[in-house]
Structure 1
Amino acid sequence: MKQVKPLTVKQVAAITKQGLTCLGGVNGLYLMVKGEGKYYVFRYASPLTGKRSFVSLGTTSSITLAQAREKAAKYAADVRDGHDIAQKRREQREKRKLAVLVSPQVKAGTFEAVAKQWLDARVKTGYYDKNVRGVSVVEAYLSRNINPVLGKMPVDAIRAQDVFRCLKPIWTTTTEAKNKCLTIINGVFRWAQAMGMLEGENPADKRGALGVLLENLSPHVKQPRNMGALDPEEMPEFFCELMNWGTIASKAFAFAILTASRSKAVRTARWSDIDLEAGTWTCPESAMKVKGRGIFVVLLSTAAIRLLKSLPRMANTDLVFPSPYQHKVMSDTGLGQIVGDMNKQAKRQGLPLWIDKAQTETLGKDIRITVHGTSRATFKTWTKLDANLKRFDRDAVELCLAHKLDDGYGGAYDRAAMLEERRRIMDAWGEFCCSKLNQPAKLRRKG
């Protein structure tokens, strides 16, 4: 078998070719690039059937190259000993599931103890294998919102009134927290019923007494509101004012617009993740809203590259948009305050404010545009205008926003083929945003 010279960490990080690339060092170790995701895999021929197969070792963001080589070496030894790796892993998963289902150690106790058993059972059966933050999110809600009220109570003594007492403080204020907490509490009680710890009704079932109690709070529930966004036709003029505002924060906002990116990704962007020659920006998983999908590659338009080339490189930091004073990551508030400052100046000069016109009309008060809404919602609305609706592929638009495609294949089927389409969309968006850059600015930042 031909030996491949082991690739270095830097060489592996630079691989963008879709499909499999042999990494060397251990026979069978490959890097699989699928869309924006990168995974270490071990390829082998089954000693039982002779068929070629592969198993995933983990994403490049979850394990190091050295760890991948160590895992691959162990699997290679197993294959030499006559084991089929995929079959062995399936058998181990089934054993773990069976052990959890028939475990004699499961006993009724306090809600806190039963919730821990429920969560441990989910971890052992692989429920959170594809959600790296799943366990920590559940633990946070249990610790912060649920256990302070229900934690010390015997699980079989809890009634709907107790669950209502736990949910009431958050039911009318936060949409996500109330739904998460109810889902967790309901899950714990359903599991307790299945394990024989609880008889009778589930006190967290909204179809029972709990639903009746929560009905009284429904009129007071705070309705979620969309992030303020510009009408697309206002974007060229706003972008001109933003670029002429001249601060590092305004340039960061402009870059977020050109790349249709979230605030965190832009604020934590590093020069080492940007390849101006290739026109790409590699966002690490830590900067993405949804974890577990690996890195995301943003295709930079000509306008975005031009903006980056105009920026000064700060000493002692790799950040593209560092805080101007401490040279650390800029705060979300600092970036969002740009619109407030621009609107204050516009008011002094008697100019129109930058507001979300649709929400302002609906709610009867000025709704200021936001970084998120203007960078992402305005971009998506622009792609749906009559002139663009037939011009751009809808799936490619979703990928530009780092959204997962619901195509039955985890969104991986045609991502590679859409790279060219995504770049075409972003170039057109950049040209549109910059179409009024040659006009004089109206706002005077120090006026």
Structure 2
Amino acid sequence: MAIEKLSARAVATAKEGKHEDGGGLRLVVSAKGSKRWVLRYTLNRKRREMGLGPYPTVTLAKAREEAMSARRMVFEGLDPITERKRTQVVIPTFEDCSTQFIEAHQAGWKNAKHASQWRNTLSTYAHPVLGALPVNAITVNDVRKVLDPIWTTKNETAKRLQTRIAKILDYAAALGHCDNDNPARWQGKLDALLPKPSSIQKVKHHPAMPYSEIGQFWKELDSQKRISATALRFLILTATRTSEVLETQWNEIDLDLAIWTIPAERMKMNKEHRVPLCAQAIELLKALPKVSESAYVFPGSRADKPLSNMTLLKLMRSMGFGKGSQKGDYVPHGFRSTFRDWAGEVSSYPRDIAEMALAHAIENKVEAAYRRGDLLEKRAHMMQDWADYIGS
């Protein structure tokens, strides 16, 4: 069989059709003019075709070289297609590499919860952006997209996250999956895109108490016997909005099922929201006196009106919290952020369960379309763990 029938000029000017070079190598030209190399061979009495790549990316000389290598494999009884798949280097995604990193290092971490904290911060903030990307394809701009939304609002969390991403990419580089020019490095990379952590001013909107301080605050709050203190405890235990708590009516509460159903008209997203009630929340509600002429769980000075928002603010100020105080510029609504930080950094619950607990909209439209339930049972376990953490 004659081989090397084609010339470089013949390949360059070839028209639609199949043009044989010999030895099973052919150039295939489509109706639109695109060209690709194909090698036909027979192994174990079976006819196979192997693509060698497009022309001109793969030149005539390169195609002949690849075809010769494949023919040698066939002569030795090997299938070149199978061998190519076997030898191809698979670059892991960031999510795969982060899983491998945690598994490789968790035995050396003193705190058993450390692995859960890593998983939660990565799944909450990093994986939605970086998770599906091969580690060798991640750029400094990709890392910036992860950090930007929380760099000024949750800077401690963001700094910790940046360090973790950098360590995972260093790990990937050590395994040969990417180069050593780490896109998550601060100096020379992110410092050109983000403000220095030391220059960031604390966010003034809904200042949130760190979850590490919630236990001590709870003890102080527990000594308060006013109905406003009970309302604030209920707000913290349920991680709900101030208006949702203060306007709660008894007909929304099912003490037997331990469920509080907030009607759509009182929800920010205009959608009914079921809140699982932990044992501590049920205990609070059962201890409340019912005012016969009021439908509200937390009535104000007038039975037909609920407590006002200012009542909870005044309570916190009387306890030494609020604007300009030494204890902290914290407000009631900020406890939702406290809960979210605890869920993401301390607990082992997935991000979507915490977001559902906060009645946040699912930003991913595809995910939202497939989300049928409200994860009530899983949220019930999470809210009980939150309550136990507060009281521990």
TM-score relative to the length of structure 1: 0.40
TM-score relative to the length of structure 2: 0.45
Larger radius of gyration: 2
